[in-house]
Amino acid sequence: MKFAVPVFPGSNCDHDMVNALRDILNADADLVPATTTDLAEYDAVILPGGFSYGDYLRSGAIARFAPVMTAVKTFAVTGKPVMGICNGFQILTEAGLLPGALQANRSAQFICETSELRVCNVETQFTSDYAADARLQLPIAHGEGNYYCDDATLADLQANHQIVFEYVTNPNGSVANIAGIVNRQGNVLGMMPHPERAVEALLGSTDGLGIFKSLLAHHEEVAHA
């Protein structure tokens, strides 16, 4: 399975992601520049965390116009998995690939801590490796991670089981304790916590591994179907 990790000016979790994929999961992973226009050779795309384009204007607002995002949209339509972590989640909402928006944390502070999550939906290609209702310890590090959507959108997310991760204790003011959602088709995931920073005991938690293992297992399944 071959992963693409787009690198925007200001991305800073791109190498952590590639480290997790290559060194821990023995998967193929390429850093690809934001100018890339074709992702067809890849099986999955992961938009990394950071401060793309300095987060000028709004987080993700400028990145969404980078050439690679046109390629990501084309890629997502094929049904292959696309995942956005932290700034990647912000970019996916700005690009319209996921509903809602990420606004400033309720406390107005940048929050950098370990958060406890509940896996709300294990029927996705990102979460099948987890037990139902599993509790995860994953790091968060964001100033604008407060998920917002209007009531109609929230009702849609709930009705379609699109809320995949929720905070056990809400750190930032997110609507309905939302930490991560998928699109209606289930192949685009956005989440504020950092699974790539929880892949070996040395990092304090290995709870992030399940997401990558789920993706690898799903890829195997599709390949042998």
Output 50 or 100, the one with its CB closest to another protein: 100
The residue to which tokens 């297992």 are assigned: 217
Which candidate, 200, 185, 42, 33, places its Cα nearest to that of 124? 185
Number of residues that bind another protein (CB under 8 A): 19
122 in Cβ contact with 165 (< 8 Å): no
Q: Which residues are catalytic?
A: 86, 194, 196
In the set 115, 146, 162, 177, which binds another protein (CB under 8 A)? 146
Please tell me the chain's helix, strand, coil percentages from 3-state DSSP, rounded to the nearest 5. Answer: 30, 25, 40
Name the token pair of 96.
Answer: 């319209």
Question: For the residues of 151-172, what is the DSSP string, one character each?
Answer: HHHHHHHHHTT-EEEEESS-SS
Q: Which is nearer to another protein, 78 or 158 (CB)?
A: 158
- Supply the minimum distance, in Å, between the C-beta of residue 61 and another protein: 7
Does position 176 interact with another protein (CB under 8 A)? The reply is no
Choose one: 14-22, 39-47, 146-154, 206-214; the region binding another protein (CB under 8 A): 146-154
Asked if 184 is part of the footprint of another protein (rule: CB under 8 A), the reply reads no
**DSSP notation for 13-73:** SHHHHHHIIIIIT--EEEEEETT----TT-SEEEEPPB-GGGG-SSTTTTGGGSHHHHHHH
Q: Which stretch binds another protein (CB under 8 A): 36-44, 69-77, 101-109, 202-210?
A: 101-109
Does 148 contact another protein by CB under 8 A?
A: yes
Which CB sits closer to another protein, 78 or 107? 107
Which residues make up the interface to another protein (CB under 8 A)?
Answer: 57-58, 61, 65, 93-94, 100-101, 103-108, 146, 148-150, 173
